[in-house]
């Protein structure tokens, strides 16, 4: 009797020990190293960095290891660590036009300045299980560091201008200019609806990939009308620069991998504006194509109000998207119903009994 609520401390301690044991798995097998995770589960690491809002392949790999491969848990670990890191300033804005691209495609032009570069992608692979990977040792030379040759690889250092520049000149594409305003920071300031586009993009950049994907999909199926073309999808490496106050000139902090997606969408015109193309924008740390593309679609959908479009779907409702896109918040709140609710349940129980009794008495 009354045992259920006693012994919490002991139970927690034992649960932690069990988790540690489960995490390690069979101790006769070698433990997995952070290097192995970073190198061989790179896309998992990239997702954790993107949604964890912290560019650190090493810490992200650690989080993946500690979370036993549960990426939402790993994202949470990284976020909680990130929240305690001091901020010493903002880097200079990166210019993705200067990216050393590994992959760069456009679906709107057959060819364009800088060319199409397919790069590493699951697209066009046949999703057949490769049973040869089941071998402990992969065949020598198969994935070796042999030089991979292709037309686009001739000049990997070649700058590839942004595809949408072609439309800007003609005035067919809305221009996006830096208005010089300091963007807010959704992790440092409380949310106040309506949130401007900078804030929405910050939210989408860390939003759950699955949620963002589903929202993007919903707009394509008619819950909000977005008819996007992928003007450009690029993925590659960029330098990050920072100007320390005491130096007064920018120094390079390091390099990061980014995936960027720009969509072009029809806009019929209205409110005194001529018909024009509008953009959606997606950006994610690492190689994170599905996320960047979905983000660009949702970003555009969320501009419905600004563009005077009818709001027909959840993807166009910024309160809906902003408040539910974060998987650390969502996973926490959904899972909190595992916590004891004896008190509230008891209150409901008594209430229900009283109501049934009253109903019974009435019938008699």
Helices of type H across 31-164 = 34-40, 42-52, 57-66, 71-83
User: Does the protein bind another protein through residue 343 (CB under 8 A)?
Assistant: yes
Distances (CA, A) of 240 to 31, 100, 203, 243: 34, 13, 21, 10
Per-residue x/- mask for another protein, residues 293 to 322, rule CB under 8 A?
Answer: --------------------------x---
Cβ at position 166, least distance to another protein in Å? 39
Stretch that binds another protein, among 7-15, 29-37, 133-141, 223-231 (CB under 8 A): 7-15
- Nearer Cβ to another protein (35/185): 185
> Which segment (6-14, 59-67, 132-140, 286-294) binds another protein by CB under 8 A?
6-14
Closer by beta carbon to another protein, 40 or else 346: 346
329 near another protein, rule: CB under 8 A: yes
Q: Which stretch binds another protein (CB under 8 A): 18-26, 123-131, 187-195, 297-305?
A: 187-195
165: number of Cβ within 10 Å: 13
Cis amide linkage into residue 194, ω under 30° from 0: yes
For the four alpha carbons of 218, 42, 233 and 186, in that order, the dihedral sign comes to: positive
For residues 8-36, one letter each, b for 16 or more C-beta atoms within 10 angstroms of the residue's C-beta and e for the rest, the string is eeeeeeeeeeeeeeeeeeeeeeeebebee
Does 217 engage in binding with another protein (CB under 8 A)?
Answer: no
Confirm if 322 and 195 have CB atoms less than 8 A apart.
yes
Distance CA 245, CA 277 (A): 41
How far is residue 316's CA from residue 307's CA, in Å, rounded to a whole number?
11
Residue 53 and residue 187 in contact, taking contact as beta carbons nearer than 8 Å = yes
Contact 295, 200 (CB under 8 A): no
Per CB under 8 A, 200 contacts another protein:
no
How many chain residues touch another protein (CB under 8 A)? 50
d(CA 75, CA 51): 6
3-state class (DSSP) for residue 219: helix
Among 98, 270, 342, 357, binds another protein (CB under 8 A): 342
Compare residues 137 and 336 and give the one whose CB is closer to another protein.
Answer: 336
Of 27-35, 155-163, 192-200, 275-283, the window that binds another protein (rule: CB under 8 A) is: 192-200
Residue 348 binds another protein, judged by CB under 8 A: yes
Site string for another protein, 55-94 (x = CB under 8 A): ---------------------x--xx-xxx-x--------
Q: How far is the CB of 339 from another protein (least distance, A)?
A: 5
Q: Does 20 bind another protein (CB under 8 A)?
A: no
Q: Is 190 in the site for another protein (CB under 8 A)?
A: yes
Place of tokens 């980014």: 258
Contacting residues toward another protein, per CB under 8 A: 1-2, 4-9, 11-12, 76, 79-80, 82-84, 86, 187-194, 319, 323, 328-329, 331-336, 339-344, 346-351, 354-355, 358
């Amino acid at each position: 009797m009354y045992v259920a609520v006693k012994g919490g401390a002991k139970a927690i301690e034992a649960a932690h020990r069990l988790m540690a044991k489960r995490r390690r798995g069979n101790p006769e097998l070698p433990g997995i190293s952070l290097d192995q995770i970073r190198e061989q589960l790179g896309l998992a690491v990239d997702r954790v960095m993107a949604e964890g809002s912290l560019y650190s392949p090493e810490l992200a790999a650690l989080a993946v290891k500690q979370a036993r491969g549960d990426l939402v848990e790993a994202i949470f670990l990284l976020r909680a660590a990130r929240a305690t890191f001091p901020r010493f300033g903002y880097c200079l804005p990166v210019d993705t036009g200067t990216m050393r691209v590994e992959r760069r495609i456009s679906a709107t032009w057959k060819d364009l300045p800088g060319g199409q570069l397919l790069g590493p992608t699951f697209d066009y692979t046949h999703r057949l299980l490769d049973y040869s990977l089941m071998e402990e040792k992969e065949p020598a030379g198969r994935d070796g560091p042999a030089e991979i040759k292709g037309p686009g690889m001739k000049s990997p250092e070649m700058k590839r201008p942004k595809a949408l520049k072609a439309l800007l000149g003609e005035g067919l594409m809305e221009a996006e200019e830096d208005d010089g305003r300091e963007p807010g920071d959704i992790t440092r300031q409380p949310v106040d609806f309506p949130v401007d586009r900078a804030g929405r993009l910050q939210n989408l950049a860390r939003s759950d990939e699955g949620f963002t994907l589903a929202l993007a999909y919903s707009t394509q199926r008619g819950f909000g009308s977005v008819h996007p073309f992928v003007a450009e999808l690029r993925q590659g490496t960029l330098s990050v620069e920072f100007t320390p106050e005491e130096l007064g000139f920018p120094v390079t902090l390091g390099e990061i991998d980014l995936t960027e997606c720009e969509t072009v969408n029809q806009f019929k015109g209205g409110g005194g504006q001529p018909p024009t193309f509008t953009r959606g924008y997606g950006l994610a740390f690492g190689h994170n194509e599905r996320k960047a593309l979905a983000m660009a679609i949702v970003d555009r959908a969320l501009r419905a109000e600004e563009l005077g479009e009818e709001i027909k779907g959840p993807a166009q409702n910024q309160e809906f998207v902003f408040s539910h896109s974060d998987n650390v918040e969502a996973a926490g709140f959904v899972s909190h119903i595992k916590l004891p609710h004896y008190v509230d349940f008891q209150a409901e129980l008594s209430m229900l009994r009283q109501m049934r009794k009253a109903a019974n008495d009435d019938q008699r």
